[in-house]
Structure 1
């Protein structure tokens, strides 16, 4: 997918947007499944984390505070639905979606700076997301593939999650 967008048509700016990868617990139906996911995340098990890309756009005015971070997040349309969980566990594809939202500030934990982009990163991420296949299949086409592909497009680093995994000493 990233090869289709390898040369995005965007305005190149003199300054750079900052690109981050963040991890949060996988979401699950309330009850025991949610407790297991939260515990695995707390223990640092890499395979029980959900990854997303955060972009902090550059602002040239020193008197103006930086805009909020913009999050690009590929996940199941209904991650807490029991039927989604069953489909995921059986290896079937489920409908996915890319959520785009703003954050007031970057997370303090499990958020890594991965590089700067010379292009308008939000514009490139928006175009990338609009061409992304929305059939989510865990282990074959999921948040990891989305994150790796988008980071490669924005900062040029291939397989960023492998580097982060080895540098953080995460389990699993």
Structure 2
């Protein structure tokens, strides 16, 4: 991928910064949650939840960034997990939340958005199909699609994976 540096950003006046972040997958309390936390701690790439963070060039006073992601409506429900793992579609939801600061780990700068990246992200979300199918239409596809919409860069997660040797 040309143009991706995956390093700390240097401020560019008037351009929104685009990041990709990974967090532990949510699971039912107990063994499932313990397993997902361990997988995340070990950096198992395929067992992480990916999302897009936009740091506007002129953020509102009460937040520094906005995170956008796609996940099951009820990610901690055992029946949702079983259905998703069996390849069935489950109801998904696109979320947008404010962040006070960027995550300190597993957060990569991937480029700059052209124009109002937050507005473009909301437009993208309005067209995103919300039936989630693991491996076919999940947080990875959402992240790749939104980053491409915002920066023009394709398959950002595959590039990040190669850059990090399969670990984060």
Would you call these one fold, judging by a TM-score over 0.5?
yes
Change (3 A) 1:136 1:167: same
**Alpha-carbon contact 2:53-2:67 (below 8 Å) kept:** yes
Instruction: Point out the more displaced range, 17-26 or 162-171.
Output: 162-171
Aligned to 2:101: 105
Deviation at 1:66, TM superposition (A): 8.9
- Mapped to 2, the partners of 1:125 and 1:55 lie a distance apart of 9
Counterpart-to-counterpart distance in 2, 1:116 and 1:39:
33
Cα separation, 2, equivalents of 1:26 and 1:101: 17
In structure 2, stretches of 5+ residues that fail to align are 1-12
Q: What is the aligned partner in structure 1 of residue 10 from structure 2?
A: none
Tell me which residue corresponds to 2:67: 71
TM-score by length of 1: 0.86
1:67: Cα distance to partner? Answer: 4.3
Mapped contact 2:63–2:98 kept (Cα < 8 A)? no
Partner of 1:15: 14
Q: How does 1:146-165 map to 2 (within 5 A)?
A: 146-165=142-161
* Runs of 4+ displaced beyond 4 Å: 64-67
Structure 1 unaligned residues grouped into runs of 5+: 1-13
Match of 1:139 among 132, 135, 138: 135
| Matched residue SS, 2:26 | coil
**Could you tell me how far apart the structure 1 residues matched to 2:105 and 2:139 are?**
19
For 1:124, the equivalent position in structure 2 comes to 120
Whether the aligned pair in 2 keeps the contact of 1:16 and 1:57 (CA below 8 Å) is: yes
TM value normalised by structure 2: 0.88
Instruction: Single out whichever of 147-156 and 66-75 deviates more from structure 2.
Output: 66-75
Which runs of structure 2 are paired with 1:11-50 in the superposition (5 Å)?
15-50=14-49
Number of equivalences: 155
Contact 1:15 1:118 in 2 (8 A): no
